[in-house]
Amino acid sequence: MGRIVALDYGRARIGIAMSDERGTIGLPFKTLVAGKTLEKSVDALLENLKIYLPKIDKFILGMPLLLSGKKGEMALEVEKFKSLLEKKTTIPVILWDERLTSAQADNFLKEMNLSRKKRSEKSDSMAALIILQNYLDSQS
């Protein structure tokens, strides 16, 4: 089994979390500054992961559904991001409900008594970690 990478897509930043090689434990990896276009964001993501790409089994991409469960504007953008990512790599991309993960990440970071600036720097990769851990937990 290879690594699983979770992505918390945003227009400004993309949070990345990665599992260990057995796919059992997730760790925050990095927060990328998003590109000016979706394509540039995908390219930046793949560039930052290039040494890991041969070992990645799948991407878990957070799907920002509305609380009602319906797709909003961001969900449609995430679907476009997914489509571009699938065109540039052979790694499967799974959409995963990410409702409230950003709030969970922020609450967790507040509990750690981090400054607002530090929370801002870490919140996207922490949200990706929550997405990843939710996915890993569902698989066991």
- How many degrees, rounded to 5, is the angle at CA 92 between CA 126 and CA 138? 55
Residues ≥6 apart with Cβ < 8 Å to 79: 71, 95
* CA dist., res. 31 & res. 2, Å (int): 21
Q: Where are the domains of the chain?
A: 3-139
* Contact predicate 24/139, CB 8 Å: no
In this prediction, residue 46 carries a pLDDT of 97
Kindly tell me if the per-residue pLDDT of 140 is higher than 80. no
> When comparing pLDDT for 118 and 129, which is higher?
129
In this prediction, residue 86 carries a pLDDT of 97
Q: In the CATH scheme, what is the code of domain 3-139?
A: 3.30.420.140
What mean pLDDT do residues 74-85 have?
A: 96
pLDDT tens for residues 80-127? 999 999 999 999 999 998 876 666 666 666 676 766 766 566 678 888
Residue 4 host element (H or E)? strand 3-8
pTM of the model: 0.88
In this prediction, residue 60 carries a pLDDT of 97
pLDDT tens for residues 19-65? 998 888 899 999 999 999 999 999 999 999 999 999 999 999 999 98
In this prediction, residue 103 carries a pLDDT of 64
